[in-house]
Amino acid sequence: MNSTNSLNSFGYHPFFESYFNEYAEQGYSVGRVAIENKTNYLLYSEFGELTAEISGKMFYNIDGKADFPVVGDWVVFRAIPEEKKAIIEYVLPRRSKFSRKVPGSKTDEQVIASNIDVLFIMTSLNADLNLRRIERYLTLAWDSESEPVIILSKSDLCDITDELKTEIENIAPGVHVHIISSIKQQGLDTVKKYFEGNKTIAIVGSSGVGKSTLINTLLGYERLKVNDIMDYKDKGVHTTVRRELIILPNGGLIIDTPGMRELQMWEGSDGIGATFEDIEELIKKCKFKDCKHESEPGCAVNEALENGTLEEDRYYSYLKLKREIGYFERKHNQKAINAEKKRWKKIHMQAKEHMKFKGRS
Ligand code: GDP
Ligand code: ZN
């Protein structure tokens, strides 16, 4: 495999080449970010996988969060092949990017992943269709400049697939909609076509719709679960950590980062008021401010549920979305995370002491 060939298999494109040319003349190399871990990166390159850091000069010139490399980026670097290392100097312009505002800041942008050609918006055929959620994902895709494709999963659990497909096509004019079953291996050839030409794809959709199953099916093996990843904070990018830019055996790439998985919920957090405005309005009418809508007197939610003006299903999906958002907000509360880490460290130390003690006796 020559070097352009290997770069192509990572999704290299004339767009990036046109920007890289001037750097190539100066002896730089180009590679793609496969893992981002604060100040450490793992790159795919013509030298194989390299652990990388950004140069002092680049760090000095950085304006805002959006200038740091993220998974999917093409970066210009100085290679130290004998040490399997690289020093990153520049991020090449992005063809597409998913970003969100940094919490608490009005202007700073945080890029979550970049250079995604196609966004698969996945929703499962055996659950309630949430057209509003699909619309939100479509907005996300258009904003990012990637092409949205809607994937309806778990067709083996649904008898009215065509009706649902039509319903979705009506709110998404011009967007391709495909029906698949990973378990029954149906519709997968259509999905695979999107990877042709070493395209990069990301999958969004609620938890449980079958994203991981599809990735594993395309890969042909089980990928490490998020929970199995060890903390590699102080060790640089550890080589056994799972790649977040996944190269498929038959060509094409998938970006699967925690940030992309959570994106939907952050968006949900803004959109929940609009999507469930009727329920939020009802809640304001409850007699007690802290009403839990259980058995409190004067509860407007219960009243609406009883007289049928609020559908039970709708109320449950509202509660479910609320719970999911709460979960991600808790997860992003750094203080809580640190406290939890401290607690585990203590437990770990105690366990070690205990083992030592046992070893002696
Ligand atoms: P994720 O949270 O979106 O990554 O969803 P998973 O891939 O973990 O799938 C959630 C559950 O749905 C698992 O129990 C899968 O086995 C199941 N599942 C995934 N794809 C299919 C499918 O095509 N048909 C059926 N019947 N179940 C599926
Ligand atoms: Zn109430």
For residue range 214-261, what is the model confidence (pLDDT) as tens digits? 999 999 988 866 545 444 444 455 445 678 999 999 999 999 988 888
Residue nearest to atom 18 of ligand 1 (CA): 210
Q: Which ligand is nearest to the CA of 260?
A: 1
Q: What superfamily in CATH does domain 3-91 come from? A: Nucleic acid-binding proteins (2.40.50.140)
Residue 213 Cα distances to 181, 207, 218, 222, 238, angstroms? 10, 12, 9, 9, 25
Residue nearest to atom 16 of ligand 1 (CA): 213
For the chain, first and last CA: distance in Å? Answer: 58
| CA 226 – ligand 1 centroid, Å | 16
Q: Indicate the domain borders of the chain.
A: 3-91, 97-256
Q: Is 1 helix (H, G, I), strand (E, B) or coil?
A: coil
For residue range 314-347, what is the model confidence (pLDDT) as tens digits? 788 778 767 766 655 555 555 555 655 565 555 5
Amino acid 265: pLDDT: 54
Q: Which ligand is nearest to the CA of 206?
A: 1
Question: Does the CB atom of residue 156 touch ligand 1 within 6 A?
Answer: yes
Choosing from 185, 188, 213 the residue with most ligand 1 atoms within 8 A of its CB, the one to mutate for a pocket test is 213
pLDDT band for position 132 (cuts 50, 70, 90): confident
pLDDT at 100 over 80: no
Average pLDDT over the chain, rounded to whole? Answer: 83
pLDDT band for position 313 (cuts 50, 70, 90): confident
Closest CA to 198 of 1, 4, 12: 12
pLDDT band for position 351 (cuts 50, 70, 90): low
What is the distance between the alpha carbons of residues 59 and 69, in angstroms, rounded to a whole number? 11
Query: What token pair was written down for 323?
Result: 């719970």
Question: Does the CB atom of residue 206 touch ligand 1 within 6 A?
Answer: no
Question: Does the CB atom of residue 264 touch ligand 1 within 6 A?
Answer: no
Question: Does the CB atom of residue 212 touch ligand 1 within 6 A?
Answer: yes
Q: Is 3.40.50.300 the CATH classification of the domain at 97-256? A: yes
Q: Are strands 253-255 and 200-204 parallel, antiparallel or unpaired?
A: parallel
What is the distance between the alpha carbons of residues 36 and 68, in angstroms, rounded to a whole number? 10
For residue 348, the surrounding DSSP H or E stretch is helix 334-360
| CA 154 – ligand 1 centroid, Å | 7
Identity of the amino acid at 255: I
The percentage of residues in the chain with a pLDDT greater than 90, rounded to a whole number, is 53
For residue range 155-214, what is the model confidence (pLDDT) as tens digits? 999 999 999 999 998 888 889 999 999 999 999 999 999 999 999 999 999 888 999 999
Q: Which ligand is nearest to the CA of 256?
A: 1
Question: Does the CB atom of residue 124 touch ligand 1 within 6 A?
Answer: no
| CA 209 – ligand 1 centroid, Å | 6
Question: Does the CB atom of residue 182 touch ligand 1 within 6 A?
Answer: yes
pLDDT at 154 over 50: yes
| CA 106 – ligand 1 centroid, Å | 38
